[in-house]
Structure 1
Amino acid sequence: MACALDLQAVAKQQGLRMSIGITEGSLFAGPVGGPSRREYTVIGDTVNLAARMMQYGRAGTTLASQRIKERVSQQFIFESLGKIALKGKADRLTAYLVKGEQGTHEEFITRHLLHEHPLIGREAELEQMRRIAADVRQGQLRLLFIEGELGLGKSRLASEMVREWISAGGVGYGSKCISYGRQVPYQAWREVIAALCDLTPTLTPARQLARLAAVIADLEDPPSQPGYWADRLPLLADVLGLEAPENNFTQSISSHLRRNNTFALIEALLRRKTQRHALLVLLEDIQWADELSLALAAYLAKALVDTPLFLVLVHRLMPSPDWELLTDIKTLPYVHTICLEPLSSEESLELIKILRGDRLLPAGIIPLLLNRGQGNPFFIQEITGAINHVTESQANQLDFNLPDSVQDVILTRIDRLPETEKLTLKIASVIGPSFLRSLLLAVHPLQQAQFRLSSQLDDLESEKLIRLEVPAPRWEYIFHNVITQEVVYEGLLLAQRRQLHRAVGLALEELVPDAVEQLAFHYHRSDDSEKALHYLKIAGEKARREYANYAAINYYTEILGYLRKRPATTNGHGMVSTDYWDMLMERAKLYNLIGQREEELEDLGTLGIMAEALSDDYRRAQAAKQWASLYEASGDYDSGLEMIERSVQLAEKAGAERLVGEGYSHWGTLLYLRGEYEIAQEYLHRALAIAQNHQDKHAQADCMKNLGIVVHYQGDYEVAHYFFKEASELWETLGDQGGLGNCLSYLGRVYYDMGNYAEAQKCYDKSLALHRTIGDRTGEGLTQRSLGKVQRTLGNYVTSLQLFKDALAINQTTGDRRGEAHTLYQLAFLYTRLAEYDTALSLLDEALLILREIDDAWALSAALIYYGWTLLEQGEPRQAKKYFEEVLKIQREIQQEVRMTETIALLGRAALAANDLSLADTCARHAFNSIINRGTQGIEHPAIIYLTCYQIMETQQKYEQAQEMLSLGYGYITAQSAQIDDPALQQTYLNNIPENRQILELMSANKKTSGAL
């Protein structure tokens, strides 16, 4: 059956259509024919029946007989065709259409549709969910949080929602997080994605990978990027815990890009599904979700805003670090929250009556039960169940001896079990909230377990302590509730737990050797420290590779705990060892990456002390270098410079020239950030020389790029062009598409500042293509913003608007706050050009709010210039003047002398409009001298300077200078327009830019006047 479905899948990929018939029965198989012509064949009525069913079926279908259906109904989905007439058969025969394999989707549906008792209360919550679901069916994304303490019925309410959604014809997927899975990347999404891709537990890993490849092949690749999604197959395999060989693409990207591309691929899968149906995705118990699962949920809540997706997250109180991953989306307008409260007394009483049935309760028990239950459905159910197990005469003696807690109720139930079943339950509790029968059998110490385990599990299921979640052949069970598992586990002695965890680890090594997170979990709780260390290191490295930084930190913390207890070795003793130092450094780097400064500070202090104890200059240098990174991230560049100087000195002492080079490079970066550009160049050149000496092309390219940034900031565009070109060639030689894309973007900025918009456009186009190829959404957003600037400068406002909007959408989806602010003020100035001043000012207010928060002085000055310019165009010169004066103050502080020319000219323009002729004259003279002596390179809008100086000088009756500025302005814009190949775009540049148009009109008027004279 599985083979038939795989054949159909392959045929579909190849564009073929075929029909398959499947039957089962007795037949003849063997050679037939004479001595000279013989063949092997199968003959019989069963073969004929299969052929007739094949002929009856339509192309692309698989038909099966009644007997086949009975044999494999647990593994496959069938649709009855009733009794059909087949050629050569007198009687009609029952046939079935094979729809597919039973998979996680069907398990999800079954889990939520089968309930013994009706939902009590929650009418208001159900009505709210129905309204939200109706919005989703209208094509709108909705995100719903269902919050509540343990036992209040979150899952039961979610099940009712699923039932109504499915009954209305909806499609739904879901999963439930488990308490020991917090370190497993994407654990909350595995079941959802497996169902999306039609994976089933019966498929071998090879067949699962083949099916993933087929699903990905159905996705539409971006334009001009064939094989785009296929390259990302190993990323999706990683999510599902499958081993797929890495390819050139996945090997070349950083852990951050690996995460971003994984998110984008899952987004594409969900988007494709929502094009066909409104989709429900339910994630339960997300208080136990890993960070990547939560980050993915937050990403999808923004990225899929234009799709009919109903994303429901169910949880108890969540840890603060995890909740922070969701804070950004909690305030979105399409996000709803349902906070469950305890049932009322009336609702609690109704639940008790349903649970008790026809049996009467002793007098006085109900008030006590209501008081103890406190409206908690789970507690009420457990206590009522306990009462149901005793006789009426015994119940009369229970008056005031009801259990005080749910845990006590569960312990009472467990105490009634036979010892063998207690043992089985204890072993299962060590495995976790869910467990496979095969794993339980492998761990079970009793020799007769293989003969009695099935009946024991049946008994435990009848006691409602566990339930079968996935039937044969997987045989996966789960505890009826997580409290049961916790109570049983807590009842074990520490020595028993360790022994059983080790046994589970040994069994997992045989059954699923690639499940490194589970192996790390169990060995960490065993007494086998060496295996615990082994798997913790593998799991930590995997988490870091997946950009699961919090999980990686937890793994490194656990590793450090083991190393602290280690006896003396050649590498040291306990904490004072190179192994401990290296692991602590990795954790410190991760703290730096996620911005946890206090934790990083503590680790760095320990690293410094340990490096001294080890008398290890190399590690002293590394620690000092990491201190410099901490200070840089905190904005304390002076302290950073002190530490990087110490790092270089120690690295030289240790003879570690590569580390010296890294130190010089970092030194140059810190000097640049502090505004000491000449000295920064000196140290970057030293770093470059060392990189060249070691033939380290990556380091060479990085140094070249940094040198380009420094000299570009100083306004030396020719030299910046040289460095960026050299760096680009090195990145291209290395095949580093990310490095090349970033460097081409920098090169595009140089061309833009030089006024060479055609070359800037080419660089940005290449950069955009590279960023898209590697799935670098942040780089894509930055490059689209840069392209928007080019098109705005050329007067092509329609194209510019779309580019800015696309960039802004990417910034907001990826949570790039700095990029969002930059795009907002660039988009705002486009609206200024379009004379939509209120819109422009509103966007600028948003940008300034972010920029003041993140302390980006350069961008702040740019946004303030546009604010003043907009006010000036709106007829408020006095207000505009205040903004230009603030900009000049900032530009002096950050040594932006070239850009000050434009600001001074705009200040003069505001002064002229406000009739402050003295200030206007001063500004015009300064701008005039600057542009005559320095030229226009580095000035974004030279034409406004020419026009402003002309107008002020005309007012001051300095006609000769005024005409000179007008002529220079005319020469500038005509020279720029001559570089534009497209005649239509040439006209937009000349006519859509207000200052360009005015200069042309003034020159035309002057020529007419001269002609008349």
Structure 2
Amino acid sequence: MAGIAEWLASIGLGEYAERFRENAIDLSVVRDLTEQDLKDLGVLLGHRRKMLRAIVELQREVLRTPQAGAKPASTDHAGRRQLTIMFCDLVGSSALAARLDLEDLRAVMGTYHRCIAEVVARNEGVIARYMGDGVLAYFGYPQAHEDDAEQATRAGLALVDAVASLRTEPATELQVRVGIATGMVVVGDLTGEGSAQEQTVIGETPNLAARLQTFANPGTVLISESTHRLTDGHFEFRNLGPVALKGWAEPMPAWQVLGTTEVESRFEAQHKSRLAPPIGRDEEIEMLLRRWQHARRSEGCAVMLTGEPGIGKSHIALALEERLQGEPHITVRQFCSAHHTNSALYPFTRQLERAARFERGDPPAEKFAKLEALLVRADADRVLLPLANLLSLPPSNRYRMPELSPQKRKELTLAAFLSQLTGLAARQPVFVIVEDVHWADPTSLELLTMTLEHLPRLRGLLLITARPEFTPPWPGHAHVTTISLTRLNRRNGAALIERVTAGKTLPEEVMDQILARTDGVPLFVEELTKTVLETGLLNEQDDHYVLNRPLPPMAIPTSLHASLMARLDRLAPVREVAQIGAVVGREFSYELLSTVAGLSKERLEEALAQLVRSELIFCRGEIPQAIYTFKHALVRDAAYSGLLKSRRAALHAAIAGAFEQRFPDLVETQPETLAHHLTEAGLFQKAEAYWLQAGKKAAMRSANLEAIAHLQRGIEASGHLPEGAGKDKLELAFHFALGPCLIATQGPASNKAMATFARARELCERLGDPPEQLQVMFWLTTASVMRGELPVAEETIAALLQLAEARDDLPALLNAMRGQAMIRLFMGQLTGAHEAIGRAYEAFEASSEDDRLAARSAGQDAGVADLALMSWALWLLGQPDTAIVRMDAAIRRADAISHPHSQAYACYYACILHALRGEFLVAQGHAERCIALSEEHGFRQWRLARALRGICVASLDPSPSALGEIGAVLDGYRSAGYQLAITALDVLLCPPLLNSHDYEAALELIEHGLATANRNSERILEAELYRLKARVLVARGGPAVEAEAQALLDRALSTGRSQHARTLELRAATDQAALWIHQGRREEALNFLAPIYASFTEGFETHDLKVAKVLLDGLR
């Protein structure tokens, strides 16, 4: 109903409209008029009866519809949103009803309801329902605000005071109790028809608010945990701990609100502890410091910091204030408010009240005295009296307030503020902060304009913060600088995350998702990181976190939800277009939107234009080729989360249909897009084919991380299909495609890979030996190898070879032959390994390209792996030159087929080979390339190359930092369950420790390697471990050390000979000869070393043979 005139006209009494207006009677008052009131207004008797009946009907309507604030249009759909709900109840209403006459009770209740309506409306709330003595109010609907929870809490406190101070006839003391809760609800037109329809809220939040109210003592306000989280810092609380509430199985945390704090900055309220310096803002702060130094010495100046919400404007202002603490100055802080955009001089009056230390409940005279004390140095007529008048404070008898016109009074008031600032600057340099000037009222902007003009004559810096949409009303000034804050880059965003986690590292996929969804906005980064830490998704382990379950899409933090929804609600008429776009994704095209929106061309284009003007979305190109992008991922999420699930599903289905019918090229190139919309629409059967297609396409491009995401979505969707062989075949296809991607990115021994292999084996057993079975067996065998279970793996690989041969499955045979060779190699069975690798490579060279591609499901190319393993075997067997030829061939093949995982595999094996040969510069080059490939493609298992790079650096120039990196990488490798090739790293790390004289660490490393060799049968470098232990003991010195070293060298020699590891035998023999030379047994040394050296037919320019030759030449 538009107003009092319309209501009077609707009941046929429009002739009284002017009389009602003259007496300031509107719809909020008319419900409380009595017959005597109407008589006093001169309403005729018959009309009074008619009007009283209409007032009764109006009262009934009040009980059915929201009364304070705007009611959403009837065309609004139900939606999901975060809401703060307040439940207020009148204490002792039953006793009141028994004591008062009915008409007196009606008058008291009317006064009570009017009071509540006024307080709720003043705090941007909406009365949802009057329920006798109870009142239900919403904060955040139909219009969200950035501080709905704070406004609700302020309203609760105000209600307690306002109701207690009500003057009623007859005189009655009233008290209320208030409960407030915040949470996600569904809100919309859900009950009733026509005028009786209510905006009903569904969810536990209103029930929680009501239960908290019943638990509250008279005259108190209780809030829920979620409301406390959003308002902490703005209010003083008493923690009541968990309280038992009817309807809740577990006690719920509750807080009693005691009062407000002095903090006005929302940023400060959210950061109550000492602030850390802003990350990535050094240049801006240095510039502000330069401006301050100039301003305090000579001419005042101003800087305007602009940037979107959460970008760090307040943080920079506080950081600058902190940097100035050691200098003599005066700080003046003023805060504009979104709720006082039409309250004249609000930020300046609030600052004045804070500076004068006004307390709630101070009588006017005491406030005037405090103001007088504050302005004791100022001229009374020019400063004190105008400011007292502004604050509605009557002066004491010593002063006389002159009669002035409103315009003259305003001029004096503005001059008074300016005079006060001038007086402060005359005493000390002044640092003035005016925050959120985009919310400033017109008179405040006028005062700011005057201040800027006057500023060069003062010693001071004026720092103004504003959002990008703010257009300054003042003209350009040479002494005013504008700084536009940009978003944080990835490095600074990661640093901010690390600050929130107190230096503990997050899993990479968690870090990536936080950075992707927060777009470099510091507030978003902080709040989303805090939310992730609170979800229970992560387990804390020493200096890092690990995921305890698959990472779901991250929800919008409660602390950001209201702010994001407020942006959408300000565009309510076109919000639905934004929501449809959000269903498409962060980016959507005009062509697609026009197909599914169901709007006329004109309406759609105007809605999109409005969204672009508001900077909620950006536009690229011209209609109809235009592409739109949400400014923030979280804004898109907020728009999407506001839709009911049923509405989302319908839109996803419509979008999927449009893709299939109108965009077949996109479906071909991006099948995952169609698969996503089909899945969200609940069309799981149809979605499965596209998820599988998307996963395979990504894997073919070596986009393994994307492939994993697509395939896992498909596996999740398959859970909605009916049980049966068809579902099992489909799920197996997904796991079969997923296996190689997990091997490439995380390694076959990772928990995720092992779970995939186990599920695939289970499906194979249920389906009865399908073609995929052999490859699944190979995966499980490879996992056993990587976990160091070599004897077990040796048995399973033999069985797999037999099956592959019996089924004539050449791809499986290629992998099984190589697997057998690899197991033998690491078990130290070098001749058997060399023979097996030779057969495997012959089979590979004879195979077709299709078989080679099929064999690549093991994770890497079979030919590359054969050549790399062959090179290791040849080097150990005493053919160092041929070994390098084979390794170079492996790298060339990996590069020729452009298969990134095979390239990383080859580089890793090449790095270890060259490092074992003492060629650390060459090894370092391979390590760097392996690391680069791993980072580009997400190959986690090959990140062990970082340790190899550290070993190469430490071997060339030992340093504590290099050794520290090696230890951290090795710990991560072992903690992930990997055991294979650890002894190679133990062998390589020992010499740098020996060179840095850290003998105990070197011995500990060798003992670890020997224990691994005994436990896992990984004896490939066992002889080298014995030799190195002897060297460390000799270097450390001590009694009987030579005898112990001799025993170890004997063990190294016998082990090398039994394995036919001629290179390791030569090394042990060289050390043996050196020991004998030291003991004076030169002839024995010559006779022992010479025949071993002579047995070599190649490799005479390698380090090992050069060292042996120098020793022999010295003996001859």
Aligning the two structures, in what range does the TM-score lie when normalised by the shorter sequence? 0.3 to 0.5
Which has the larger share of helix? Answer: 1
In terms of Rg, which structure is larger?
2
TM-score by structure 2 length? 0.43
TM-score by structure 1 length? 0.47
